[in-house]
Amino acid sequence: MARENGRNAGRGGDGRPTMTDVARIAGVSQSSVSLVLNEMSGSRISPETQQKVREAAHKIGYKLPATRAPVAAPAVEKDTIAFIVDEISTSPHPVVSLDGIRDYAFEQGLLVSAHATRSNPDLEEAVLRSVLRDPAIAGVVYATIFTRKVRVPPALKSIPTVLLNCYCEPRQHVAIVPGEVAGGFAATAHLTALGHKRIGFINGEPWMDAAIDRLKGYKQALATADIAFDESLVRDGDWLPLRGYEAGLELLSLDNPPTAIFCGNDLMAIGMMEAAQEKGRRVPEDLSVMGYDDQELARYTHPPLSTLVLPNYEMGQKAAEILIDMAIHGKPARAMTIKVDGPLVVRGTTAEPRRR
């Protein structure tokens, strides 16, 4: 099993800066960076924000693929990657992964065609028929909206394929997934490093891989800090603000409530902050709140939410890189799972515990 750090995974072998780097420096989302640098009209992004994005891009030497020196197109007929995903319209995550695939592919002279199957077997079968008979398709990135084990369609044995945000057992393909255990560890370790001893955890749906692994990381970080795991401080959630609010009220009503709460995603963290306000707890003076995912809304909470990046963009780039090496450059790829770690983003909702 290999591991990539999301802070570096988005860079090519030559260390060139990426759109993720620009977004991090400017303090905006990757979508905002794309809109500004592509000079899209009607985006309603303030002139001040546009200037910040341009200055950040100039500072690190980032240029959009279309403005870079042209790359010679591969001397082959195949010039398109097929991105096949079960769902794309209900979450920002697969869209950001698609951005990563598109950007890397375009730098290599390839384009991307996207297909959403809505988990419909008949639709997926029709998409696969179309993709496999298209002579321009070099290979397939087969993706899922949330991390899970999949049964890879047998038809994909005939074409170079990389799995994105999913995996199969036994291993048959390279699979790119987020490092969720490491993410849960990093988020919790940030709180223990600040001096918190009672740390609550509002997890996602307990049957999901992401929730299982983030809980493992939470437990490992507590053990590393010599803090005993306390099951009474853990609540199952559903990734939505209302459950974050409800679980937050439960945790803050304990006789010995936590001084910090790690939430399995940013949406539940927003609900948690509402519960804190209702209970008269100031964030971060009385209670630290940690999110996960780094969705765009995390920048606009009051105070801005400390969180951990879910590295969808870097995962997409890595999937495209491996697929192009296989399909265009003829490099063999051993079936393996590559875990991409996301960086911690410390904002205004975490601080040292107040002395009682």
pLDDT digits (tens, 9 = 90+) for 104-144: 999 999 999 999 999 999 999 999 999 999 999 999 999 99
Asked if 272 contacts 287 with a C-beta cutoff of 8 angstroms, the reply is: no
C-alpha span between 19 and 316 (Å, rounded) = 13
What is the per-residue pLDDT for 18?
81
C-alpha span between 308 and 300 (Å, rounded) = 15
Residue bearing the bigger pLDDT, 44 or 353: 353
Mean predicted confidence (pLDDT) in 232-242: 97
Asked if 40 contacts 64 with a C-beta cutoff of 8 angstroms, the reply is: no
Q: What are phi and psi of 112, to 5 degrees?
A: -130, 135
What is the per-residue pLDDT for 6?
53
CA angle, 86 then 96 then 89, to 5°: 40
What is the per-residue pLDDT for 35?
75
What is the per-residue pLDDT for 9?
43
Mean predicted confidence (pLDDT) in 6-27: 68
C-alpha span between 241 and 270 (Å, rounded) = 6
Asked if 84 contacts 156 with a C-beta cutoff of 8 angstroms, the reply is: no
Mean predicted confidence (pLDDT) in 248-272: 98
Which of 59-73, 139-153, 236-250 is least confident?
59-73
Give the global pTM: 0.81
What is the per-residue pLDDT for 64?
66
Closest CA to 188 of 290, 259, 86, 102: 290
Mean predicted confidence (pLDDT) in 276-288: 97
> 286: phi > 0 → left, psi -120 to 50 → alpha, else beta; which?
alpha
Asked if 311 contacts 150 with a C-beta cutoff of 8 angstroms, the reply is: no
Mean predicted confidence (pLDDT) in 54-73: 71
What is the per-residue pLDDT for 283?
98
3-state SS, residue 270: helix
Mean predicted confidence (pLDDT) in 154-170: 95
What is the per-residue pLDDT for 90?
84
Per-residue pLDDT tens for 173-208?
A: 999 999 999 999 999 999 999 999 999 999 999 999
Average pLDDT, the chain: 91
What is the per-residue pLDDT for 2?
67
Q: Which helix (DSSP H) or strand (DSSP E) does residue 235 occupy?
A: strand 234-235
